[in-house]
Amino acid sequence: MTDPQWLDWAKRLQAIAQIGLTYSENPYDIERYKAIQGLAAEILAAQTGTALPQILDWLAAEFGYATPKVDVRGAIFQGETILLVRERSDNCWTLSGGWADVGDGPARAVEQEILEESGFLARATKLVAVCDRNQHPHPPHPHHVYKLFFQCELLGGTPRPSLETSEVDFFEENALPELSLGRVTPGQIALLFEHYRHPTLPTRFD
């Protein structure tokens, strides 16, 4: 699935503006890039119903060379079941994970997310897939995102909800709960089960 045309335009305009504002010193160029950023904000505000000042504040917080954000997700298996957590934000289920923090390697980031969201200690053992979010059936998102899916080994701990999650449980592949599609899709869960059952499969990437 690709972004709707309006969202693709807004993302590209914001990236041009962000990069221009990072490297430009000429005041006239800076003014032009701010105008481009304003146009991206108007598109986002008009299409999402979000107040324009809120969009402008969000865009202004992005600085430096514009690159995709990195989302890490970890899959822990017990027998023929996979660990999922229920997100408080939408009451749907997903793999533990989230944005990778600056200073953490990808494996460390996903292990930390699993601990914080589920209460389980885990060790990342395999990078299963690197996905371009735009190429999968997720809902539209204002950022361009790369999603890293890891298979992880359960080391210990006990199930524990968190500020972001309300439940922690294991599910069979054919009995999945309602998924938080902004975070994970049924196809991605199926891919993780496939790699779990066939450990020699190579990493999948877009």
Domain ranges of the chain: 5-60, 69-205
What's the pLDDT score for residue 2? 64
- The overall average pLDDT reported for the chain is 93
Mean pLDDT of 144-160: 96
Give the angle 71-76-80 at the CA atoms, nearest 5°. 130
Torsional sign, CA 113, 101, 69, 49:
positive
C-alpha dist (Å) from residue 94 to 73, 86, 148, 156, 165: 9, 6, 14, 20, 10
Query: What is the rounded CA–CA span in Å between residue 90 and residue 68?
Result: 24
What's the pLDDT score for residue 86? 98
Closest of 193, 202, 182, 205 to residue 94, by C-alpha = 182
**CATH architecture of structural domain 69-205:** Alpha-Beta Complex (3.90)
Report how far apart the first and last C-alpha atoms of the chain are (Å, whole number): 13
What's the pLDDT score for residue 102? 79
